[in-house]
């Protein structure tokens, strides 16, 4: 600030990530775009939330605090899918854990209020975006309120918010109060009473019993009356100027069941999820309202996607593409991963139920121009330290959705399908990958570029529609292995994930092997799978394990399903119903979910069928499923039978658990060592260092009554033993 001659900042952004001035980091994008609009922007990165002075270091902002947890949800950043603490943080220098609080948006906002009570607070980013309404919280196993209430923020912005933030910033600079700014898309705020002249629509009108979705397409809107008329005009005008004032949405809003209702009624929670996901298209979405006690949470329709010219403008800001120099040489893994990568697009129309990209970025693909992308590659080549000629990725949320959009703009603006590719690829969706293929070729031809790798997730059901693209990819952009994500082998779980069947995988595999052979390369597909996903039973996991063994795969790392806020699969996990397929009472198809620690551990064990530590649990499961024929040494067996040593150990453990002598022994051992005895654990236990004596007096006895005295204690005693 001193170097720039600033006496104050207009806007201060507080973030849970280390500050990396790169277009893959949200706070850098917003900081640069606001700076280009003439605002003085400061950033406070990873402040100590226990000390108010950390939020006062840049003084009082003239307009507002912008608060974000960072590129990751703070709870997912802190805990694994099994609710265990992570030991590192990819967005922190040195990978140090604990540099951000749990529920960072709430904690940071409250501290900003404590530091400057009269300064408005706007929250955003992935954490705020996915908690904008009442939501299931996996870590507390409860329904939590909108983060707007818990954080005491004045406004919430969801999705990619450059357009919204620029408009709100200019209006605040022009003297408007933040409480009066209620017509900006992509924003949410509290309301005491509803505005006059607006029509209220009860959400149950859109989801009535008896009005079941047609069998031909089970993913269209439930209420037939809600379909737009043929040739209907666009409801909301698109303003091409990224910083211009936007028009009000339609003067109608949908009232969802209240927080108190969804907290008590799982069916209403599933209903709310269904309506919410039908109102994500910017072309036809209406405002959503949900009661929380005495207040209403009001969500305006989603932001209008940026045009190619606008997206180019955002990515052409003067990013330095390096972490802030104050971190020195400390390694930031998240930066290392994207250091030599190029983001070519935003959004995803896949609609996978376990993924939150649709809820955050939307289904409409926003693509950069070829020139903008190629110019950035040259900047990486010329200015990024350590560049060796390899671009590590040319992609986005999905590698091969670049410039794939609906063929008809009017159809796109009226569609309510949650996925453009499930249960089958929509006939109105473009599948021509020629733009992507052409981009790959031009990028490879740039001077100083040796290789362009594709590391983003690949949607192979789209890729098989364009063999020329697959050939280009396999011939030039695969470095021996290509990672893809079938996620499962069985139709039941795949249906709940909204993923294609294995038939598409085999088609892609055939193309991959054919083009690899033609290129004279030995290359392999590495499939990814999810365990314990809603809809996946023990039998489904057993069949997946058999598929893995039959195809020669030994999975090294396994991802258990992680119920992130507001994802459709999370609703299935919590309610055990499928909100995408309402039945007569509107409560949804019943879905099995592995919730207990034992169930989730077993599903994970099936994917690692080759690990001897998992064999006892798998044998028990196979016996329960009536599949004893899968236990043995034959080619079709999943796990080997018990060895003599395992049988003796199992019997010994049984005696320890169930006989009086065994229980007496366990009690005596616990008294002696201070450690609980678990006969199921075959691994050797080690005493914690705090319980281990440093030395003995050389005269200790053996047996359960022996007392060990540290050497230091003996020296202080005058009594001889």
Could you tell me the pLDDT band of residue 660, with boundaries at 50, 70 and 90? Answer: low
Q: In whole angstroms, what is the distance from residue 237 CA to residue 424 CA?
A: 31
pLDDT at residue number 555: 86
pLDDT at residue number 208: 59
- 423 preceded by cis ω (within 30°)? yes
pLDDT at residue number 670: 65
pTM listed for this prediction: 0.85
pLDDT digits (tens, 9 = 90+) for 170-220: 999 999 999 999 999 999 999 988 999 899 999 988 875 443 333 333 333
Q: Contacts for 421-426 with beta carbons within 8 Å, 24 or more apart?
A: 421/349, 421/350, 421/351, 421/459, 421/461, 421/462, 421/500, 422/219, 422/350, 422/351, 422/498, 422/499, 422/500, 423/217, 423/218, 423/219, 423/498, 425/461, 425/462, 425/465
pLDDT at residue number 697: 39
Range 507-513 average pLDDT: 97
pLDDT at residue number 695: 41
pLDDT digits (tens, 9 = 90+) for 297-329: 999 999 999 999 999 999 999 999 999 999 999
- Chain mean position to CA 689: 38
For residue 223, pLDDT over 50 is answered with no
For residue 594, pLDDT over 50 is answered with yes
Tokens standing for residue 112: 């900003």
For residue 698, pLDDT over 80 is answered with no
Range 59-77 average pLDDT: 97
Task: Please state whether 300 falls in left (phi above 0), alpha (psi between -120 and 50) or beta.
Answer: beta
Residue 348 annotated in ligand binding: yes
Residue 420 annotated in ligand binding: no
pLDDT digits (tens, 9 = 90+) for 422-464: 999 999 999 999 999 999 999 999 999 999 999 998 999 999 9
Q: Are 598 and 624 in contact (CB under 8 A)?
A: no
C-alpha closest to that of 256 among 241, 275, 242: 275
Residue 406 annotated in ligand binding: no
Q: In whole angstroms, what is the distance from residue 318 CA to residue 189 CA?
A: 33
C-alpha closest to that of 697 among 682, 685, 707: 707
pLDDT digits (tens, 9 = 90+) for 524-552: 999 999 999 999 999 999 999 999 999 99
For residue 249, pLDDT over 90 is answered with no
pLDDT digits (tens, 9 = 90+) for 76-99: 999 999 999 999 999 999 999 999
C-alpha closest to that of 132 among 120, 114, 150: 150
Burial 668-700 (b: 16+ CB within 10 A, else e): eeeeeeeeebeeeeeeeeeeeeeeeeeeeeeee
The conformation of residue 477, written as its DSSP 8-state character, comes to S
Could you tell me the pLDDT band of residue 663, with boundaries at 50, 70 and 90? Answer: low
In the chain the first and final C-alpha atoms are separated, in Å, by 72
Non-local (6+) Cβ contacts of 14 within 8 A are 43, 44, 47, 55, 65, 66, 67, 68, 108, 112
pLDDT at residue number 653: 75
For residue 5, pLDDT over 80 is answered with yes
Q: In whole angstroms, what is the distance from residue 470 CA to residue 465 CA?
A: 9
Domains of the chain, start order? 11-299 (3.40.50.280), 340-477 (3.30.750.210), 479-641 (3.30.750.200), 648-684+703-716 (no CATH)
More confidently predicted of 581 and 674: 581
Q: Are 207 and 215 in contact (CB under 8 A)?
A: no
For residue 397, pLDDT over 70 is answered with yes
More confidently predicted of 92 and 236: 92
Q: Residue 382: which H helix or E strand, with range?
A: helix 370-383
Non-local (6+) Cβ contacts of 245 within 8 A are 167, 239
Q: In whole angstroms, what is the distance from residue 112 CA to residue 54 CA?
A: 10
| Cα four-point dihedral sign 255, 258, 261, 264 | positive
| Cα four-point dihedral sign 275, 276, 279, 280 | negative
Q: Is 301 helix (H, G, I), strand (E, B) or coil?
A: coil
Q: In whole angstroms, what is the distance from residue 288 CA to residue 201 CA?
A: 10
pLDDT at residue number 305: 94
Which of 235-249, 373-387, 582-596 shows the lowest per-residue confidence on average (mean pLDDT)?
A: 235-249
More confidently predicted of 43 and 215: 43
pLDDT digits (tens, 9 = 90+) for 326-367: 999 999 999 999 999 999 999 999 999 999 888 888 999 999
C-alpha closest to that of 237 among 301, 298, 170, 312: 301
Residue owning tokens 């064999």: 615
Range 247-264 average pLDDT: 85
Q: In whole angstroms, what is the distance from residue 102 CA to residue 370 CA?
A: 40
pLDDT at residue number 212: 36
pLDDT digits (tens, 9 = 90+) for 559-577: 899 999 999 999 999 999 9
Tokens standing for residue 132: 């904008």
pLDDT at residue number 655: 74
Residue owning tokens 């993924």: 355
Q: Is 349 helix (H, G, I), strand (E, B) or coil?
A: coil
Could you tell me the pLDDT band of residue 489, with boundaries at 50, 70 and 90? Answer: very high
β-pairing verdict for 252-256 and 155-157:
unpaired
For residue 225, pLDDT over 60 is answered with no
Which of 55-64, 350-359, 609-618, 692-701 shows the lowest per-residue confidence on average (mean pLDDT)?
A: 692-701
Which of 65-79, 178-192, 629-643, 662-676 shows the lowest per-residue confidence on average (mean pLDDT)?
A: 662-676
Q: In whole angstroms, what is the distance from residue 300 CA to residue 359 CA?
A: 14
Tokens standing for residue 645: 């040593």
| pLDDT, the chain, mean | 87
pLDDT at residue number 9: 98
Q: In whole angstroms, what is the distance from residue 482 CA to residue 486 CA?
A: 13
Q: Are 561 and 533 in contact (CB under 8 A)?
A: yes
pLDDT at residue number 714: 37
Non-local (6+) Cβ contacts of 692 within 8 A are none
pLDDT at residue number 648: 80
Q: In whole angstroms, what is the distance from residue 30 CA to residue 629 CA?
A: 59
Tokens standing for residue 276: 């919410």
Beta strand segments in 365-444, E: 366-367, 390-391, 393-395
Please spell the DSSP secondary structure of 182-210, one letter per residue: ---TTEEEEESSPPTT-EEEEGGGGS-TT
């Amino acid at each position: 600030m001193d170097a720039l001659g600033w006496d104050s900042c207009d806007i201060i952004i507080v973030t849970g990530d280390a500050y990396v001035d790169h277009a893959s980091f949200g706070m850098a994008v917003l900081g640069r775009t606001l700076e280009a609009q003439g605002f003085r922007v400061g950033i406070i990165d990873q402040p100590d939330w226990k000390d108010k002075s950390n939020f006062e270091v840049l003084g009082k902002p003239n307009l507002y605090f912008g608060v974000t947890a960072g590129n990751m949800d703070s709870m997912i950043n802190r805990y694994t899918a099994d609710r265990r603490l992570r030991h590192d943080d990819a967005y922190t220098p040195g990978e140090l854990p604990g540099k951000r609080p749990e529920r960072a948006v709430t904690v940071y906002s409250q501290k900003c209020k404590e530091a400057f009570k009269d300064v408005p607070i706007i929250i955003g980013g992935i954490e705020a975006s996915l908690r904008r309404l009442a939501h299931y919280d996996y870590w507390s196993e409860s329904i939590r309120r909108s983060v707007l209430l818990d954080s005491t923020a004045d406004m919430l912005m969801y999705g990619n918010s450059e357009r919204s933030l620029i408009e709100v910033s200019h209006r605040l600079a022009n003297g408007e109060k933040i409480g009066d700014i209620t017509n900006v898309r992509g924003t949410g705020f509290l309301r005491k009473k509803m505005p006059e002249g607006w029509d209220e629509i009860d959400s149950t009108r859109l989801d009535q019993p008896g009005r079941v979705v047609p069998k031909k397409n089970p993913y269209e809107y439930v209420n037939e009356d809600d379909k737009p008329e043929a040739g209907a005009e666009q409801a909301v005008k698109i303003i091409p100027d990224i910083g211009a004032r936007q028009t009000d949405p339609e003067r109608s809003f949908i009232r969802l069941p209240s927080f108190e209702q969804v907290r008590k009624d799982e069916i209403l929670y599933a209903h709310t999820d269904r309506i919410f996901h039908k109102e994500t298209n910017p072309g036809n979405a209406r405002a959503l309202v949900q009661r929380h006690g005495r207040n209403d949470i009001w969500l305006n329709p989603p932001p209008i996607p940026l045009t190619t010219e606008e997206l180019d403008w955002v990515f052409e800001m003067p990013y330095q593409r390096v972490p802030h120099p104050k971190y020195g040489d400390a390694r930031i893994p998240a930066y290392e991963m994207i250091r030599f990568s190029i983001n070519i697009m935003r959004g995803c129309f896949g609609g996978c139920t376990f993924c939150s990209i649709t809820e955050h970025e939307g289904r409409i693909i926003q693509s950069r121009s070829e020139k903008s992308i190629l110019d950035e590659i040259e900047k990486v080549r010329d200015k990024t330290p350590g560049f060796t000629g390899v671009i590590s990725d040319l992609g986005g949320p999905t590698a091969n959705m670049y410039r794939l959009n609906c063929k008809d703009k009017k159809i796109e603006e009226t569609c309510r399908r949650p996925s453009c590719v499930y249960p089958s690829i929509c006939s109105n969706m473009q599948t021509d990958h020629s733009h992507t293929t052409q981009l790959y070729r031009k990028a490879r031809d740039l001077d100083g570029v040796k290789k362009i790798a594709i590391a983003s997730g690949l949607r192979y059901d789209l890729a098989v529609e364009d063999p020329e693209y697959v050939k280009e990819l396999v011939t030039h952009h695969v470095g021996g292995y290509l990672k893809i994500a079938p996620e499962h082998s069985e139709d039941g779980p795949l249906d709940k994930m909204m993923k294609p069947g294995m038939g598409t995988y085999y088609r892609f595999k055939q193309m991959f092997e054919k083009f690899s052979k033609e290129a004279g390369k030995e290359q392999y597909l590495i499939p990814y799978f999810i365990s314990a996903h809603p809809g996946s039973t023990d039998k489904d996991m057993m069949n997946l394990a058999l598929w893995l063994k039959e195809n020669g795969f030994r999975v090294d790392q396994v991802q258990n399903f992680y119920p992130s806020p507001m994802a459709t699969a999370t609703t299935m996990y919590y309610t055990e119903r499928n909100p995408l397929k309402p039945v007569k009472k509107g409560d949804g198809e019943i879905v099995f979910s592995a919730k207990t620690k034992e169930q989730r551990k077993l599903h994970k064990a099936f994917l690692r069928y080759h690990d001897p530590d998992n064999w006892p649990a798998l044998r028990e499961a196979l016996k329960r499923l009536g599949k004893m024929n899968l236990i043995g040494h034959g080619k079709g067996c999943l796990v080997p039978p018990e060895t003599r040593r395992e049988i003796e150990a199992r019997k010994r453990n049984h005696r320890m658990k169930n006989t009086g002598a065994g229980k007496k022994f366990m009690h005596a051992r616990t008294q002696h060592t201070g450690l609980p005895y678990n006969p199921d654990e075959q691994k050797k236990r080690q005493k914690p260092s705090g319980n281990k004596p440093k030395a003995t007096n050389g005269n200790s006895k053996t047996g359960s009554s022996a007392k060990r005295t540290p050497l230091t204690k003996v020296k202080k005693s005058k009594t001889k033993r």
